Structure 1
Amino acid sequence: MNTHISQLYAWGGDGGYATEGDVLVNQTSDGVDLNAIWTQAATAMSLYNRERSALAALISYPTTNVGDAIPQRATSDNFEEASEFGEPVGLRGAPDALILGYDFKDYDLASRMTWKFLRSATAEQVQASINSALEADNRLVTGTLLRRLFNPAEGTNEHLHRVFGLWNGTDGMAPPPHAGLEFPTTTSHYLASGNAAIDPGDLLDAINAVRLKGFGTSVDTRLIVLCHPNEAEEISTFRAGVEANGVTSKFDFVPSDSAPAYLTAENVVGQIAPGEFGGLEVLGSYGPVWIVPSYFVPAGYFAVVATGGPNSARNPVALRQHTNPAYQGLRIIPGRDQRYPLQDSFFQRSFGCGIRYRSAACVVQVTTELTYTAPAWAWS
């Protein structure tokens, strides 16, 4: 009896193990090993997180803080003339620092690849699903950052810190004074053009709104115009002293050094804008700004942004990440059956955002209306 039982247990133990020949599916229909695809996907995810979306990196600064106390003026400390016996004035924390909160949410997306699909699919089809997730994440992160930049509505995070947009003229707060200029509480960095088409005056209004407060004027920052290609094409027609959409232009649009060859009777004075900045195309320059077209920006809107470059602490938007590095960036997580990680795997991203410098950008809606309305972002 005991021998029979021991033999039964031994047989049951053998049945609990799966050999290599027992797997449901281990390669695609064109012979590519699924584990190799999983390894490639994990490697691609690592590279993708390092080389963050160019547009997102150009306007944001990554942080793990839930909020920051940041002075809203571009400069605050100055040297003074030294005396023979006196002590120099000390650097001190700016008294006008504003408490800025950053929100935070979790997002995920399932691949839903069954073992039967993996058995019949080619490696290209499997990789296409992973590429779709990367593209969706790019739209999520970039779209969320742009929505924060283009939306004046105030929010709160889980710690009840106020999550701000740019100056909006309705929350009773005024930009700090700069270079002897005082700004009223009605100051807004969300403008309506009052015209059905973008004109040179709209650009100058947005440029001045940023520069008058000290942003985009230092050597370590650059003023760029983020706009839809429709608006970029219109800006490319602006010529100094020539009327465009009812307003006479102060500057010439000058194509960047990547523009197609063209003939002109005019001479270019000064430095031509580069064809690329921070991984993004530069169409050309208009006065002190570089024109950066992007389909991420909805038609009928544009933003003048003072950027310090990719991931710079001078950038206007904060990209909040989890304090644990294991939960930062886009993650690919294996499905329930660890032997087949691609089956029912999913992608996960945790992040949030908020404005860091409320003066460092100005957004304009090209509209005949007199008040600004945030875009609907139908593409996201």
Structure 2
Amino acid sequence: MPRGYNASADVLRVSADGRDLNALFAELRTVADIQNESRQRFVDLFTYPVTSPVTSVLQTLGSDAAFEEASEYGVPTSKRNRPVALNMGATFKWYDNAWRSTWQYLADATAAEIEANAQAILAADNDLVFNKVMGTVFRSTNRQVTDAKTNSVYDVFAFANGDGWVPPAYEGNEFDGTHTHYRTSGAGTIVSADLDEIVADFKSHGYSQENGSQVVIFVNSVEGDVVSTFRVAGGDKADFVPAQGARFYSPDHLLGDLAPATWGGFPVKGAYDEAYIIETSRIPAGYVVALASGGVLASSNPIMFRQHANSSLQGLRLVQGNKPDYPLQDSYWVRGFGTGVRHRLAGMVMQITAGAYSAPALYA
């Protein structure tokens, strides 16, 4: 470039509609901060945050310690809890999305057009996080993660999958190493007994409303249409009860509590027994996903959401380009995270099929 000339790229400070580009960049960073604070309510209700590649997690909600009757002269027998803990690993990877813009584009683009690009990236970030969490839910095989600092290798377990691990006993319920939470219905159409099996299994491990857990069952509309017909009067164990505010008509007297209209950002279809039923196209037809939530970021939640140990590198970040005076040019968005099962008994997937279980291609 000849010396003594000012290129238009050097003097561009505003968008086509007069918005200061540096102020707009700062605004987009604020949007990223808001995204990190709110994240996805769904994810928060089923995950627990961690920053290390492995965490030792108790796999039971109960305890085998018990009081004994006291005597006048004796002393109580010493008790030592025998916690059933597993070293649960979690993956970690970096993901980025470059938003490259030339000064010519910025000269002609309005603030609304620039913000629309940012909103598209925020939506892509939501999809990325949701898909990775659901990929962990549907995956029926164990994998491994290597600690980049120590080269130590840790197991990233799936939910109970019959790999020989014996789930801890709970309230007299005993299990063996073939116990699995990846099941098939044995038929091509869902029936109420499938939901009964899911709810009963969660209760057998202590995941119930009595212990502060909410079981949520996610289905596609194909299964949802069938679930909404379940009635005690028709021979089913429980009634499907529509959620609050739902348009619904039934000549039958339905027994059960009303579920909230929304939960975790999803519209609730209704309730069956203790479980909320959520119908969403994000669940492939032919699958039923059940998760036990202890609340927002509760330690009893089924999935770990791992982020970088350095807090400044956590969440979705907007990184400026290599021109400090023009941060929007060549800027990019980045997030580092990973997932892993935290509680092997707090989630279950049932495939509606007579064959063997296989994960859906959408989340494979």
Q: Normalising by the residue count of structure 2, what TM-score does the alignment of the two structures yield?
A: 0.90
Aligned residues of 1:301 and 1:364 also touching (Cα < 8 A): yes
Aligned residue in 2 for 1:184: 176
**What is the CA-CA distance between 1:80 and the residue it aligns to?**
1.1
Aligned residue in 2 for 1:197: 189
Pair 1:104-2:97 in alignment: no
Residue of structure 2 aligned with 1:339, choices 315, 325, 348: 325
Distance 1:276 1:82 in 2: 48
- Of stretches 226-235 and 154-163 in structure 1, the one that deviates more from structure 2 is 226-235
Aligned residue in 2 for 1:372: 357
Distance 1:172 1:332 in 2: 44
Aligned residue in 2 for 1:34: 21
Residue of structure 2 aligned with 1:314, choices 271, 296, 300: 300
Q: C-alpha deviations, 1:24-71, integer Å up to 9, x for none? A: 422222222222221221111111101111221121111113211112
Aligned residue in 2 for 1:160: 153
* Structure possessing the higher radius of gyration over alpha carbons: 1
Aligned residue in 2 for 1:296: 282
Aligned residues of 1:24 and 1:115 also touching (Cα < 8 A): no
Q: C-alpha deviations, 1:294-314, integer Å up to 9, x for none? A: 333222212111101221111
Aligned residues of 2:215 and 2:292 also touching (Cα < 8 A): yes
Aligned residues of 2:89 and 2:144 also touching (Cα < 8 A): yes
- Identity within the alignment, %: 34
Distance 2:77 2:113 in 1: 66
**What is the CA-CA distance between 1:264 and the residue it aligns to?**
4.2
Distance 1:88 1:129 in 2: 68
User: Aligned pair in 2 of structure 1 residues 202, 89: CA closer, same or farther (>3 Å)?
Assistant: same
Aligned residues of 1:216 and 1:307 also touching (Cα < 8 A): no
Aligned residues of 1:61 and 1:318 also touching (Cα < 8 A): yes
Residue of structure 2 aligned with 1:63, choices 50, 55, 76: 50
Residue of structure 2 aligned with 1:351, choices 337, 344, 349: 337
SS of corresponding position for 1:377 = helix
Distance 2:189 2:34 in 1: 40
Note the residue ranges of structure 1 that are not aligned, 5 or more in a row.
Answer: 1-14, 243-247
Distance 1:367 1:253 in 2: 22
Aligned residue in 2 for 1:251: 238
SS of corresponding position for 2:361 = coil
**What is the CA-CA distance between 1:180 and the residue it aligns to?**
1.7
Aligned residue in 1 for 2:67: 80
| One-letter identity of the residue aligned with 2:361 | A
User: Aligned pair in 2 of structure 1 residues 160, 197: CA closer, same or farther (>3 Å)?
Assistant: same
Residue of structure 1 aligned with 2:309, choices 295, 317, 323: 323
SS of corresponding position for 1:309 = coil
User: Aligned pair in 2 of structure 1 residues 81, 338: CA closer, same or farther (>3 Å)?
Assistant: same
User: Aligned pair in 2 of structure 1 residues 41, 86: CA closer, same or farther (>3 Å)?
Assistant: farther
**What is the CA-CA distance between 1:90 and the residue it aligns to?**
7.6
User: Aligned pair in 2 of structure 1 residues 284, 71: CA closer, same or farther (>3 Å)?
Assistant: same
Distance 1:268 1:325 in 2: 50
SS of corresponding position for 2:362 = coil
- Of stretches 225-234 and 151-160 in structure 1, the one that deviates more from structure 2 is 225-234
1:133-282 aligned at under 5 Å gives the runs 133-158=121-146, 159-169=152-162, 171-242=163-234, 248-260=235-247, 262-282=248-268
SS of corresponding position for 2:309 = coil
**What is the CA-CA distance between 1:277 and the residue it aligns to?**
2.2
| One-letter identity of the residue aligned with 2:315 | G
Q: Normalising by the residue count of structure 1, what TM-score does the alignment of the two structures yield?
A: 0.86
Aligned residues of 1:143 and 1:296 also touching (Cα < 8 A): no
Aligned residue in 1 for 2:149: none
Aligned Cα RMSD in Å?
2.6
User: Aligned pair in 2 of structure 1 residues 30, 91: CA closer, same or farther (>3 Å)?
Assistant: farther
Residue of structure 1 aligned with 2:270, choices 279, 284, 296: 284
Aligned residue in 1 for 2:105: 117
Aligned residues of 2:209 and 2:274 also touching (Cα < 8 A): no
Distance 1:342 1:119 in 2: 12
| One-letter identity of the residue aligned with 1:303 | V
Aligned residues of 1:102 and 1:163 also touching (Cα < 8 A): yes
Note the residue ranges of structure 2 that are not aligned, 5 or more in a row.
Answer: 147-151
Distance 2:254 2:286 in 1: 30
Aligned residues of 2:9 and 2:103 also touching (Cα < 8 A): no
| One-letter identity of the residue aligned with 2:112 | E
